Structure 1
Amino acid sequence: MSERVVREPDRRRRRPTKTGTVLSEQVIVETALRLLGQHGAEALTVRRLGAALGADPSALYRYFHSTDDLVVAITDELIARAQEGAEPTGDWQRDLREIGLRIQHAYRSHPQAAALSAARTTGRQHEIRAVETILGILRGAGFPDRDAVRLYHVFVDQSLAFAALDAAVAALPAAAQAADSAVWSTRYAGLSPDTHPHIAATTPLLIAEMNRSAYPLALDLLLDSFASRLPARG
C-alpha cells in the first residue's frame, strides 16, 4: 500500500462489498488481524485485504493512506483489546499488574500483529486512554509527576518488550517451538556436573522455568521496586 491521499469528503462509502460487507475502519482492521494471524506480515497488502473483504483494493484508500497507517490502527486495536473489561480496584500495584498482564495477553493472542505493533506509538484514542489511565494510577498512588512519567515509561516499555518476546515465541511454527522447548530436557539435562555444576544442580528447575514466560515475575519485581520509591505519606 503506497501513499495516496483521498479527499476527506470522499473517504467514507457505505455501499456493501461483493460479500455484503459494509466497509469501515474497524472491519478492515479486524480483517487485517485475521490475515496476519493466518499468513503473517506478507498478507498485509491492499490486494489481499481487498480479496478478503470482497472489495476493490482502491476502496481501502478511503480509510487508510498507506500500509503504515493501517499498522498504526492495528496497534491501537491491540491496545483497545488490552483494556477491555478492566475494572480499577484502587490498589495501584494490583491495577498496574492487571494492565501489564492484559497487555501481554492481547499481544500474545495476535503474535504476527505484535511483531509489527510493539514498537509503535499511535496517538490514537485507545493509546491516549491507556496513557491517561496509567499516569492516573501512578499519580493517584502518590508519585510526584516527574517520577510518575519515568515509571510510566519503564512500565510500558517492559510490558511491550515482554509482549513482543512472548509473541515471537508464539509465532514460531509448532515444530520449532517443540524443538526449542526440548533443548532444556535434552541438551542441558545431559551436561556433566563436572563441567557445568550449576546447570546440573538446577536442571529440573530450568526445565520447568524456561518453558514459560518470565513476565509475571518480572512485573512483580518491577512493581515492588516502584513501591520502594514511593514517597512516605504524612
Structure 2
Amino acid sequence: MADRRRWSTEEILDTAAEVLRTSDAESFSVRKLAAVLGTDSSSLYRHFRNKTELLRAVADRILLAAMEGYEPEGDWKQRVAALALRVREAFGEQLQLAAVWGRYGSGGAGSRLVMEELLQALRASGLPDEEIPARYHRIVILFVALITAEAGISSISPKEYEQGMEQFRVAVLGADPERFPALSHFARDIRPLGADRRTAFEEIIAAHLAQIEAQFP
C-alpha cells in the first residue's frame, strides 16, 4: 500500500533530479517518480499539474544553483561569457537536465535571474534597447544548443566513448582520398566532437559576441 506521507515540493524535486541523473526526460514519468517516493501519482499532482511543469521546475533549480553567489564582473562580453560558463558547469554535473532545459525551458526564479543578468549585460554594451530582445534571444538559443549538445556527448559511457573514438579514427584516417580528398588532407588534424569541449564552447560564445560588437555603430 502506498505511503501516505506528505512530501514537500523540495523533496519531490530532489528525488526527481536524482531519477533524471540516470534516465532521460522521455522515459521519466510522474508515476515512476511516485513509485520511487513510495506514494501515488495523485499526491504529486497536488504540487505539479503535469510532467512538463515538474521538469521545468527541476531545470530551474539548476539555473538557481548556477546563479548562487554570482557577481557580475568585467565588460558586457566578459559578463555574458562568464554567465554562459556558469550555466554550462551547473548542467555539466547533471547532464540529463540540460536536455530538459533545452526542451521545456523554465520560467522560475533561476530562469529569471539568468535572463536579468543577460539583459543587463546587453544594456551595458551600448546596444539600443530596441535591438536587445532579438540579441538576447539568439544568445539564449546558442547557450541551449551548445549545452544540450554537450550533454548528449557526455552522457555516453566510457566504453561507448572509446568505441566511438575507434570508429572515428577508422572512418577519418581510412577515408578514400579520391572520394574524400579534403577529409584525407585534414584527417590527422580533425578532432572528434567530444574533444576540447570547454575550449570550443568558450570560442563559439566569444565569436558570437565579437560579431555583435562588430555591428555596433
Question: Aligning the two structures, in what range does the TM-score lie when normalised by the shorter sequence?
Answer: 0.7 to 0.9
2:71 aligns to what?
87
Distance 1:100 1:123, change over 3 A: same
- Unpaired segments ≥5 residues, structure 1: 1-15
2:33 aligns to what?
49
* Residue pair 1:185, 1:207 contacting (<8 A) in 2 also: no
* Residue pair 2:153, 2:194 contacting (<8 A) in 1 also: no
Residue 125 (structure 1) aligned to one of 109, 129, 132:
109
1:187 aligns to what?
171
Q: Which amino acid aligns with 1:23?
A: W
Identity of aligned residues (%): 26
What CA distance in whole angstroms lies between the structure 2 residues aligned with 1:57 and 1:196?
A: 55
Deviation at 1:138, TM superposition (A): 0.6
Aligned residues: 212
Deviation at 1:208, TM superposition (A): 6.2
Return the TM-score normalized by structure 1. Answer: 0.79
Q: CA RMSD in A?
A: 2.4
1:224 aligns to what?
210
Residue 54 (structure 2) aligned to one of 70, 74, 93:
70
Residue 96 (structure 1) aligned to one of 62, 77, 80:
80
Q: Which amino acid aligns with 1:79?
A: L
Return the TM-score normalized by structure 2. Answer: 0.84
Structure 1 or 2, whichever has the larger Rg, is: 1
Residue 155 (structure 1) aligned to one of 139, 144, 157:
139
Q: Which amino acid aligns with 2:17?
A: L
Deviation at 1:183, TM superposition (A): 2.8
Distance 1:65 1:215, change over 3 A: same
**Cα deviation digits, residues 169-228 of structure 1 (max 9, x gap):** 222344433222223322201224454332223222213676343322211110111221
Q: Which amino acid aligns with 1:146?
A: E
Deviation at 1:110, TM superposition (A): 2.2
Q: Which moved more, 1:87-96 or 1:152-161?
A: 87-96
